[in-house]
Structure 1
Amino acid sequence: MAAGDLKGMSLDELDDQLAKLKKEQFNLRFQKASGQLENTSRVRQVRRDIARVMTYATQKRGGASSAVKSAAKSKPGA
Protein backbone atom coordinates (compact mmCIF):
# COMPACT_ATOMS: atom_id res chain seq x y z
CA MET A 1 0.00 0.00 0.00
CA ALA A 2 1.45 3.32 -1.05
CA ALA A 3 1.47 6.30 1.27
CA GLY A 4 -0.04 8.44 -1.50
CA ASP A 5 -3.15 6.25 -1.48
CA LEU A 6 -3.65 6.90 2.21
CA LYS A 7 -3.33 10.68 1.96
CA GLY A 8 -6.45 10.92 -0.15
CA MET A 9 -8.58 8.74 2.14
CA SER A 10 -11.05 10.10 4.63
CA LEU A 11 -10.94 9.17 8.30
CA ASP A 12 -13.73 6.61 7.86
CA GLU A 13 -11.93 5.01 4.94
CA LEU A 14 -8.74 4.82 7.00
CA ASP A 15 -10.63 3.13 9.82
CA ASP A 16 -12.11 0.61 7.37
CA GLN A 17 -8.68 -0.07 5.90
CA LEU A 18 -7.27 -0.56 9.39
CA ALA A 19 -9.98 -3.10 10.20
CA LYS A 20 -9.23 -5.02 6.99
CA LEU A 21 -5.51 -5.07 7.71
CA LYS A 22 -6.00 -6.25 11.28
CA LYS A 23 -8.26 -9.03 10.04
CA GLU A 24 -5.61 -10.04 7.51
CA GLN A 25 -2.97 -9.95 10.23
CA PHE A 26 -5.06 -12.29 12.36
CA ASN A 27 -5.51 -14.68 9.44
CA LEU A 28 -1.78 -14.64 8.73
CA ARG A 29 -1.00 -15.43 12.36
CA PHE A 30 -3.50 -18.28 12.26
CA GLN A 31 -1.92 -19.64 9.07
CA LYS A 32 1.53 -19.42 10.62
CA ALA A 33 0.42 -21.31 13.72
CA SER A 34 -1.14 -24.08 11.64
CA GLY A 35 1.86 -24.30 9.30
CA GLN A 36 0.00 -23.12 6.20
CA LEU A 37 1.69 -19.75 5.72
CA GLU A 38 3.50 -19.62 2.39
CA ASN A 39 4.36 -15.94 1.98
CA THR A 40 6.10 -15.07 5.24
CA SER A 41 7.06 -11.58 4.09
CA ARG A 42 3.37 -10.63 3.97
CA VAL A 43 3.30 -10.60 7.79
CA ARG A 44 5.87 -7.81 7.83
CA GLN A 45 4.13 -5.88 5.05
CA VAL A 46 0.79 -5.99 6.85
CA ARG A 47 2.34 -4.91 10.14
CA ARG A 48 3.95 -1.91 8.47
CA ASP A 49 0.75 -1.05 6.59
CA ILE A 50 -1.14 -1.07 9.89
CA ALA A 51 1.37 1.36 11.36
CA ARG A 52 1.16 3.56 8.27
CA VAL A 53 -2.65 3.69 8.38
CA MET A 54 -2.63 4.43 12.10
CA THR A 55 -0.16 7.26 11.56
CA TYR A 56 -2.28 8.91 8.88
CA ALA A 57 -5.44 8.46 10.96
CA THR A 58 -3.76 10.14 13.92
CA GLN A 59 -2.61 13.00 11.74
CA LYS A 60 -6.11 13.47 10.30
CA ARG A 61 -7.54 13.55 13.81
CA GLY A 62 -5.00 16.25 14.69
CA GLY A 63 -3.50 14.28 17.56
CA ALA A 64 0.12 14.10 16.46
CA SER A 65 0.62 17.70 15.47
CA SER A 66 -1.05 19.18 18.55
CA ALA A 67 0.85 16.85 20.89
CA VAL A 68 4.18 17.82 19.36
CA LYS A 69 3.36 21.52 19.45
CA SER A 70 2.25 21.41 23.09
CA ALA A 71 5.37 19.48 24.07
CA ALA A 72 7.57 22.02 22.32
CA LYS A 73 5.82 24.93 24.06
CA SER A 74 6.13 23.36 27.51
CA LYS A 75 9.93 22.99 27.30
CA PRO A 76 11.57 25.65 29.47
CA GLY A 77 14.54 26.30 27.16
CA ALA A 78 12.54 26.47 23.91
Structure 2
Amino acid sequence: MKMVALRDMTRDELEQKRREMLEELFNLNMRKTMKELDNPLKLRTLRRDIARIETLLSEDKLNIRKIVEAPVSILDQAKAKSSSGPAEKSE
Protein backbone atom coordinates (compact mmCIF):
# COMPACT_ATOMS: atom_id res chain seq x y z
CA MET A 1 0.00 0.00 0.00
CA LYS A 2 1.07 3.54 -0.60
CA MET A 3 1.61 5.91 2.31
CA VAL A 4 -0.83 8.38 0.74
CA ALA A 5 -3.63 5.81 0.93
CA LEU A 6 -2.70 4.92 4.50
CA ARG A 7 -2.64 8.56 5.61
CA ASP A 8 -6.27 8.93 4.50
CA MET A 9 -7.36 6.18 6.91
CA THR A 10 -8.57 6.74 10.46
CA ARG A 11 -6.89 5.21 13.51
CA ASP A 12 -9.51 2.46 13.77
CA GLU A 13 -9.13 1.58 10.11
CA LEU A 14 -5.33 1.46 10.45
CA GLU A 15 -5.49 -0.78 13.51
CA GLN A 16 -7.99 -3.09 11.81
CA LYS A 17 -5.83 -3.26 8.66
CA ARG A 18 -2.76 -4.02 10.80
CA ARG A 19 -4.55 -6.90 12.54
CA GLU A 20 -5.66 -8.33 9.19
CA MET A 21 -2.15 -8.07 7.76
CA LEU A 22 -0.55 -9.70 10.81
CA GLU A 23 -2.97 -12.59 10.51
CA GLU A 24 -2.22 -12.93 6.80
CA LEU A 25 1.52 -12.79 7.52
CA PHE A 26 1.13 -15.59 10.06
CA ASN A 27 -0.73 -17.72 7.51
CA LEU A 28 1.87 -17.05 4.82
CA ASN A 29 4.69 -18.00 7.19
CA MET A 30 2.92 -21.26 7.96
CA ARG A 31 2.54 -21.99 4.26
CA LYS A 32 6.22 -21.13 3.77
CA THR A 33 7.29 -23.71 6.35
CA MET A 34 5.17 -26.33 4.59
CA LYS A 35 6.74 -25.37 1.24
CA GLU A 36 3.36 -24.37 -0.21
CA LEU A 37 4.04 -20.67 -0.72
CA ASP A 38 3.42 -19.62 -4.33
CA ASN A 39 4.72 -16.05 -4.15
CA PRO A 40 7.57 -15.47 -1.65
CA LEU A 41 7.61 -11.77 -2.55
CA LYS A 42 4.22 -11.43 -0.83
CA LEU A 43 5.93 -11.92 2.57
CA ARG A 44 8.27 -9.00 2.03
CA THR A 45 5.59 -6.62 0.76
CA LEU A 46 3.28 -7.57 3.63
CA ARG A 47 6.00 -6.97 6.25
CA ARG A 48 6.74 -3.57 4.74
CA ASP A 49 3.07 -2.59 4.67
CA ILE A 50 2.75 -3.54 8.35
CA ALA A 51 5.82 -1.41 9.10
CA ARG A 52 4.26 1.55 7.27
CA ILE A 53 1.08 1.27 9.33
CA GLU A 54 3.04 0.96 12.58
CA THR A 55 5.08 4.03 11.60
CA LEU A 56 1.91 6.08 11.13
CA LEU A 57 0.50 4.89 14.45
CA SER A 58 3.72 5.71 16.30
CA GLU A 59 3.95 9.14 14.63
CA ASP A 60 0.48 9.90 15.94
CA LYS A 61 1.32 8.61 19.40
CA LEU A 62 4.45 10.81 19.58
CA ASN A 63 2.53 13.82 18.18
CA ILE A 64 4.80 14.02 15.15
CA ARG A 65 1.90 13.81 12.71
CA LYS A 66 -1.78 13.46 13.51
CA ILE A 67 -3.97 10.79 11.95
CA VAL A 68 -7.07 12.01 10.16
CA GLU A 69 -10.12 11.63 12.37
CA ALA A 70 -13.30 10.06 11.08
CA PRO A 71 -15.55 12.67 9.52
CA VAL A 72 -18.58 13.46 11.62
CA SER A 73 -21.78 13.40 9.63
CA ILE A 74 -24.54 15.96 9.98
CA LEU A 75 -26.82 13.34 11.52
CA ASP A 76 -24.24 12.54 14.20
CA GLN A 77 -23.90 16.24 15.01
CA ALA A 78 -27.68 16.62 15.35
CA LYS A 79 -27.86 13.60 17.67
CA ALA A 80 -25.05 15.00 19.81
CA LYS A 81 -26.78 18.38 20.12
CA SER A 82 -30.14 16.90 21.05
CA SER A 83 -28.72 14.52 23.64
CA SER A 84 -26.37 17.04 25.27
CA GLY A 85 -28.88 19.89 25.51
CA PRO A 86 -29.98 21.09 28.96
CA ALA A 87 -33.04 19.48 30.43
CA GLU A 88 -36.00 21.80 30.78
CA LYS A 89 -37.56 22.31 34.20
CA SER A 90 -41.28 21.86 34.54
CA GLU A 91 -42.98 23.74 37.35
> Which residue of 2 is the match for residue 49 of structure 1?
49
> Which residue of 1 is the match for residue 77 of structure 2?
none
- CA drift of 1:64 comes to 6.0
Whole-Å separation in 1 of the counterparts to 2:63 and 2:26: 27
> Structure 1 residues 64 and 44 mapped into 2: Cα distance closer, same or farther (>3 Å)?
farther
Instruction: Kindly provide the amino acid, as one letter, of the partner of residue 39 in structure 2.
Output: N
> For the pair shown, which has the larger CA radius of gyration, 1 or 2?
2
Whole-Å separation in 1 of the counterparts to 2:63 and 2:42: 28
> Which residue of 2 is the match for residue 8 of structure 1?
8
Q: Deviations over 1:10-67 (max 9, x none)?
A: 1111100100110010011000011100100000000000000000111223x163xx
Shift >2 Å, 4+ stretches: none
> Which residue of 1 is the match for residue 20 of structure 2?
20
Comparing both structures, which one devotes a greater share of its residues to helix?
A: 1
Cα RMSD, aligned residues only: 1.1
TM-score, normalising length: structure 1: 0.77
TM-score, normalising length: structure 2: 0.66
